[in-house]
Structure 1
Amino acid sequence: MIAALFAMSTTTTQAAPPELKREFRAAWVATVANIDYPTKPGLSVDQMKSEMVAILDKCAELKMNAIIFQVRPHADALYKSSYEPWSYYLTGKQGQAPTGGFDPLAFTIAEARKRGIQVHAWFNPYRADHPSHKSELTKDNIAVTRPDLVKPYGTFKWMIPTAKEVQDRSYNVFMEVATKYDVDGIHIDDYFYPYPVTTEGKKVDFPDAEFYASYLQSGGRLSKSDWRRKGVDDFVLRVHEGLKKDAPHVQFGISPFGIYRPGIPEGIKAGIDQYDELYADALKWYELGWCDYMSPQLYWPITQTPQAFPVLLNWWSQSNKKNIHLWPGQYTSRTNPADGNWKATEVTDQIELVRKDKGSTGTIHFSMKAIQNNWNGIADALKNSYAETAIIPESPWMKSPNPGTVEAVMDKKMPPSLRFSAPNPKGVGLFVLQDSTNRAITTAEPGAIQLVRDANSTVFIRIMDRVGKLGQFKAFTGYRLSAQAIER
């Protein structure tokens, strides 16, 4: 499967491969309420496979290089979990496994790697149920087994973020995926404490008073707001440290509400204060480097002064003290003619602003549905914006297993082909193949690629490890890449 092609330049024989563009090009694939995948509960396994392949094929066609796949919408799982029931959004019944042993996460990873696409597993750490869930909760759902740890709030059920048992459970859920599945990242979004519910115009306080009272009785002195923030802080830091210890090549990404606090920076307005209402101190995590990438949801147009995209982008960029990755979230679904009706140029102009900003190296689109539906021509526009193949930016502070130097053998029979592999497959992020015409093909799986004889060209192959570092290349003079798919 060809993951990325082809940008053209003049044909010359070179001693080294052309420099590759570095840019994170991702989309969220939301499963809650069947937003992106699967399109409805109860599809056959073949249909679910076909839908995921279509998502990944579209990403490959547009030279995107990552998806953020929601695997825990609310205390459930789109994979075989040791802790939580199968998701309702798969079969239409929580706890019912897909037939034939189908594991959507495992399948997605395998298919994505063929196409050179990263998979980041996206979790909600505290949500326990959602109004779009229409079946009964299973007997092993945390809302059933530990109702003392789960509270109704508005139309949702929510775990108590400060409770040690909740933090332990979510941490174990995250780490099971990070260590048992070949994911590239662990990702959380803006849902920490829930967005405030209002009744008769008044905000309803989150129902954790008994837990705070217990904290005070044990000698605690923090205010309720500080206590709540500390609970979220502790969990974020624990995940960061756990990944560095047990899965050091797996990135930790956070996508908070895009405005840190109202009035920051000056002139910015917001209807929510995430610091004091979601109890998320995203700036603290960012400045202390408690994640590997920050993706603030900059979901407003460029010219909307109270929440102007370039103003917020600049503020987040200047706040990046640890020089981790800044990959803003874009509200690409606002290109929906029935909901926002943004022109595609709003999204592509934002991409250009990010490219001009020295502190950011990519974006994430919410969500994949907009791209697949080509709302207002957004997929067509992205094909132009992403015309040049790009690989993910390097994370030099992270550790990857050593893949070794690429092993490549030329078969000169007609048509000629190049077979390639790695001494240590666990260290392979990508096999990167290029030629002197600046064509590029990427895949994370070993295989063989058909070549074309060309006396004026050289084919280069090397390995990018799991954290984006490119290894030593091997060169084969007298050939160029063909447009044939990689065979396995």
Structure 2
Amino acid sequence: MACGLSPVIGTGLGLAGCAEAPLRLPPLPGELRLEPAPELLAQAPLPLREFRAVWVATVANIDWPSRKGLSSAQQQAEAIALLDLAVQLQLNAVILQVRPSADALFDSPLEPWSEYLSGSQGQAPEPFYDPLAFWIDQAHQRGLELHAWLNPFRARQSQASSAAAAQHLSRSQPQWVRRYGDQLWIDPGEPAAADHTLAVVEDLLRRYEIDGLHLDDYFYPYPVNDTAGRELDFPDEPSWTRYREAGGTLNRADWRRQNVDQLVQRLQQAVRRVRPEARFGISPFGIGKPALRPEGIAGFSQYDKLYADVERWLAEGWVDYLVPQLYWPIAQKAQAFGPLLDYWHGQNPLGRHIWPGLFSSKVTDKADSWPVDELLQQIALLRERRPGSGHAHFSMVALAQNRRGLADALRQQAYSQPALVPATPWLAGAAAPDVPALDWRCHREVQNNGEAQLILRLRPGTRHAGSWRYWVQIRHAREGWRSRLMGSQADGSAELRLPAAGVEGLVLRAVGGLGQLGPAQALRVPAD
């Protein structure tokens, strides 16, 4: 069977020609020839835009790996299953926890391997592989973004059980570490400790093609009470004393906020300097400063207790996206979802992304479970008030277990259509990508079930910026337009497989690492 392409004039589609290709089964009769179809460009619907993410928590083996001590092959199989689920649900981003407690789920020269992999802190995977590199590669092949989630100050989590490795800060730099309640914390007031955290981040940014750097809500720790119910102050007397002796004039609360502010600003600067195409995001507690809250909103003050001045971070442009944890039902008046959503958008003078976190893990098999409809209603409210924005689910385990049919409901209702992550135009490298080139031997291949597939191979244009994805819109004779978000290999190449029967044409666009769309190109598939 012959196979060819007509020249595509005026579409920007680079063609390297099309040669005859062998088939695994006897060829279908007739010749397949793709032709330019500019009229399809006006017919194809514009891509939907919405950040659809899920947190994958590694601390205490909440989401991945499912338990300590799994083999490398078992860990990888679990990761692939979770990523495949994300694709099935038509999510577009995964936020993977890679530094839960001054440790690493990547090959770090600065901190020990996390115990949540092997069961022993400091022990590398056996046989060796790099979990973060594996997740990035597999996510990008599936068209998913991968954001690396770090905890900046926690040094040992309460459920940790193995002995600290010699490289861990609690042993190598004990003067930086404080015990508070049943956990260990890095003191944010220790300048050398902040330098160390920054070095960890810069190393990660240099060596891994992450799409985002992500912090959670743990800055200074949440308050702990003594046996009498009295709140214990964080034990940072040594660093506070040195600050005062050096001439510092801030009160203790403002000094603590300054410590956090400085780290947030330095992390943002590191992202801009080392990997400017990546975004920097933070997921804070969902209620803002007491003095600024909407009428009727009450609850914990992260400004006064965690020393997190989140409103300032937005105003200064120190974050590219904020994922406030709006972990309450719509009808809970003191923490009402809608007013809190509006509040954070109102604190956003520079127009950064606001993608609230949803408490999907409140859907359980217990009597006090949230109904699945609560999550669906929150997504609907988000779309009504802030169309084209997005959200994130905490956490993957609730989706993987399909609790009360949650995953089914999301797939069938909220996520019936795919969506692109909203673009981030204020970052360097946000220019539109090139038109992808067809660099392939076009052919039809008959599958084991007797159905024929059309196979196209794509490669990026000359301006390769970050992790490439492809937005594909397929026109079917009976079903109309259907869309698909495709991933790519490390070099930006990809393979598109389509059912040969009933496909009239397709529109292709490259998607850059910051969500920017390249020029559209359209091809028609003539009927046999």
CA contact (8 A) 1:455 1:479 kept: no
Greater C-alpha radius of gyration: 2
CA contact (8 A) 1:371 1:378 kept: yes
Q: Over residues 334-356 of structure 1, what are the superposed CA-to-partner deviations in whole Å (9 max), with x where a residue is unaligned?
A: 00123741111100110111111
Judging changes above 3 Å, is the alpha-carbon distance between structure 1 residues 443 and 414 closer, same or farther for their aligned structure 2 residues? closer
1:433 to 472, 490, 497: 472
What is the DSSP-based 3-state SS (H/G/I as helix, E as strand, rest coil) of the residue aligned with 2:122? coil
1:287 maps to: 315
Between Structure 1 and Structure 2, how many residues are aligned?
Answer: 468
What is the DSSP-based 3-state SS (H/G/I as helix, E as strand, rest coil) of the residue aligned with 2:391? strand
Is 1:126 equivalent to 2:173 in the alignment? Answer: no
What is the DSSP-based 3-state SS (H/G/I as helix, E as strand, rest coil) of the residue aligned with 2:497? strand
Distance 1:214 1:447 in 2: 56
Q: How does 1:76-91 map to 2 (within 5 A)?
A: 76-91=103-118
RMSD of the TM alignment (CA)? 1.9
Is 1:311 equivalent to 2:349 in the alignment? Answer: no
Judging changes above 3 Å, is the alpha-carbon distance between structure 1 residues 115 and 339 closer, same or farther for their aligned structure 2 residues? farther
1:112 maps to: 139
Q: CA deviation at 1:377?
A: 1.3
Judging changes above 3 Å, is the alpha-carbon distance between structure 1 residues 428 and 134 closer, same or farther for their aligned structure 2 residues? closer
What is the DSSP-based 3-state SS (H/G/I as helix, E as strand, rest coil) of the residue aligned with 2:105? coil
Distance 2:410 2:147 in 1: 21
1:226 to 250, 254, 259: 254
Q: Could you tell which deviates more after superposition, 169-178 or 446-455? A: 446-455
Distance 2:388 2:243 in 1: 40
CA contact (8 A) 1:325 1:360 kept: no
Q: Over residues 415-470 of structure 1, what are the superposed CA-to-partner deviations in whole Å (9 max), with x where a residue is unaligned?
A: 43211001354534312221233222222312322335578832121211111110
1:417 maps to: 455
Distance 1:49 1:426 in 2: 27
CA contact (8 A) 1:255 1:296 kept: yes
Structure 2: gaps (5+ residues):
1-37, 446-453
CA contact (8 A) 1:73 1:127 kept: yes
Distance 2:265 2:214 in 1: 14
CA contact (8 A) 1:162 1:231 kept: yes
Q: Over residues 362-412 of structure 1, what are the superposed CA-to-partner deviations in whole Å (9 max), with x where a residue is unaligned?
A: 111000000011112110111120001101000000123875321114655
Q: Over residues 263-284 of structure 1, what are the superposed CA-to-partner deviations in whole Å (9 max), with x where a residue is unaligned?
A: 61221111x2110110000111
1:158 maps to: 185
Percent of residue pairs bearing the same amino acid type:
40
Judging changes above 3 Å, is the alpha-carbon distance between structure 1 residues 412 and 28 closer, same or farther for their aligned structure 2 residues? closer
Q: How does 1:4-403 map to 2 (within 5 A)?
A: 14-16=40-42, 17-199=44-226, 200-262=228-290, 264-270=293-299, 272-338=300-366, 340-358=368-386, 361-383=389-411, 384-400=413-429, 403=433
Judging changes above 3 Å, is the alpha-carbon distance between structure 1 residues 89 and 455 closer, same or farther for their aligned structure 2 residues? closer
Is 1:404 equivalent to 2:424 in the alignment? Answer: no
What is the DSSP-based 3-state SS (H/G/I as helix, E as strand, rest coil) of the residue aligned with 1:14? helix
What is the DSSP-based 3-state SS (H/G/I as helix, E as strand, rest coil) of the residue aligned with 1:58? helix
Q: Could you tell which deviates more after superposition, 166-175 or 400-409? A: 400-409
1:467 maps to: 514
TM-score by length of 1: 0.92
Distance 2:266 2:420 in 1: 29
Q: CA deviation at 1:55?
A: 0.6
Q: CA deviation at 1:31?
A: 0.5
What is the DSSP-based 3-state SS (H/G/I as helix, E as strand, rest coil) of the residue aligned with 2:231? strand
Distance 2:467 2:255 in 1: 42
Q: CA deviation at 1:330?
A: 0.5
What is the DSSP-based 3-state SS (H/G/I as helix, E as strand, rest coil) of the residue aligned with 1:268? coil
Distance 2:218 2:442 in 1: 55
What is the DSSP-based 3-state SS (H/G/I as helix, E as strand, rest coil) of the residue aligned with 2:383? helix
CA contact (8 A) 1:405 1:462 kept: yes
Structure 1: gaps (5+ residues):
1-11, 481-488
TM-score by length of 2: 0.85
1:8 maps to: none
What is the DSSP-based 3-state SS (H/G/I as helix, E as strand, rest coil) of the residue aligned with 2:304? helix
CA contact (8 A) 1:267 1:306 kept: yes
1:486 maps to: none
Q: CA deviation at 1:187?
A: 0.3
Distance 1:348 1:404 in 2: 37
Distance 2:71 2:90 in 1: 29
What is the DSSP-based 3-state SS (H/G/I as helix, E as strand, rest coil) of the residue aligned with 1:391? coil
Q: CA deviation at 1:311?
A: 1.2
Is 1:451 equivalent to 2:481 in the alignment? Answer: no
Distance 1:288 1:479 in 2: 54
Distance 1:90 1:31 in 2: 9
